[in-house]
Structure 1
Amino acid sequence: MRHAILVLLDDQEASGYDLAREFANSIGLVWNATHQQIYLELGKLNDQQMVKYRHIPQDGKPDKKLYRITDKGRDELIRWLRKPAAAARIRDAFMVKIAGGGLADSHALLRELDELTEMRRERLATFEELAHKLDNEGRDKQLFSYLTLRRGILDQQAWLDWASEVRDALTSREDISASV
């Protein structure tokens, strides 16, 4: 997560709230983080002098902290970018449920599949809207954001294709069970 934060801060100064919003809208395509995780990591990065912040007074609210990457943080980010990335691990509880589907109620799996499918369709629509916005602004200006976004779009599309296969298989299984 530290490197995701450094990537975001390399573009511009940001508050913890701004970073959480960016995790939800951009880098969240590839890395999820809660507000609490972000603030905890910002504290560590600050202690290690990889970021620093300035206070912005606000009327009627606590002061805002705007973080920016330091030279030490940028050096760490460059060092990390030069290293090969570890293979991604998949942690998907629904896939475990499908793997154990022989013991499961197909109707319950179908209901959960429908919920997840709706969430994935919404995410796909959001990603496609962001890609369209980047296209209109000139994709080359934010090429790496666009490439990351394309990966998110393809991932959602692949999951939806897989979900269609799962639906067909579970529906067929139910049809067979009903006829016995």
Structure 2
Amino acid sequence: MDMHNDLTAQDIAMMQKELDHRRLELMPELIEEVKRTRAFGDLSENFEYKAAKQAQNRNRSRIRYLERMIKSAHVIEDRAAADEVGLFDRVELLFEEDGDTETIQVVTTVRCDPLQGRISREAPLGRAVLGKKQGDRVTVTTDEGGSYTVVIHSITKEEDDGTGAIL
């Protein structure tokens, strides 16, 4: 089963918004651009035309991707208790090995961005801390089979504020 279809209502709303923009605004613009650049003459050396066609193809494939994601979506809700790590909560973690602390936010797969501290709920760390409480020591097993321990320092309850692009 494809795990990537577990989405929140907010994920779907964001996808639908991007889809509408791409269909209703971007698509007609790109069609015009293809027409405009086609008029420049010899297509074999017409870089503007090639670029316009590429942009059009990228837009089409992104539209197909978004349509597929929305159609196959399994809508999930955050059911974590008030004192448990839930979706979109900020979690301050102590990494026992090196004493580093780091704050992460557990998000749906389509919103993950490790550089911004947004960790997928499907990733080893996300899976390990979801549903846990402040003070819990949690062993995280990596996909490669290694493991490390984190301690949950604090949990800040957050709603999905709609930030973080859809991947």
Shared fold, TM over 0.5? no
Between Structure 1 and Structure 2, the one with more helix by share is 1
TM-score, length of structure 1 as denominator length: 0.35
Q: Which has the higher contact order (CA 8 A, sep 6+)?
A: 2
Between Structure 1 and Structure 2, the one with more strand by share is 2
TM-score, length of structure 2 as denominator length: 0.38
